[in-house]
Amino acid sequence: KQWYQRRVRAWKVQAFHLRKMDAYTRHKELIRNYVKFYGGKVEDFERNASTDRNDYTVLQQNHKFLWDSNETEKPKTWEEQLAKRYYDKLFKEYCIADLSQYESKKIALRWRIEKEVRSGKGQFICGNKACPDNELLSSWEVNFAYLEGGEKKNALVKNTVMSRLCYQTKHRQ
């Protein structure tokens, strides 16, 4: 019975000390005790950070310009679900264009975010990424052909650009 009482008192003291520690120190202490009791090395518990991904990386890897409106085909993985939720938050009426490489027939389009919708970018202000002007605008509905996942796709999108930039969108069609 005395042995049991000493052991209970030791557990209470240990619990008291663990409660006083912050989470990181408590974790390190528990790992040290585990290694001391079961053997091994602390290095066995090191994280392998080479496979870590943040939300931005996941969105880049699973992004689609247009998701199928088919409700029967739902995203399977959590990465696809994250990309789909992000896509659902975008405003898909007008696009923002990057016309910096129009001479090599490369025009990048993306949907507007809430901040751009509130400021009028792409609808009341020029939709070119680098243009802040809002005079002499022309709205265009463009058939945007793109390659996604090795598959050719087309989308009809609206874009509003300044009249002097219109030739860039039609350059060598």
d(C-alpha 1, C-alpha 11), whole Å: 15
What average pLDDT score do residues 109-130 get?
84
The pLDDT tens digits of the residues spanning 41-51 come to 878 878 888 88
152 backbone dihedrals φ, ψ, rounded to 5°: -80, 135
- The per-residue pLDDT for range 144-169, each reduced to its tens digit, is 888 887 888 888 888 887 766 655 55
How long, in residues, is the chain? 173
Note whether 163 and 136 are within 8 A (CB): yes
What average pLDDT does range 79-97 have in this prediction? 85
pLDDT at 114: 85
Does the pTM surpass 0.95? The reply is no
The single-letter code of the amino acid at 63 is H
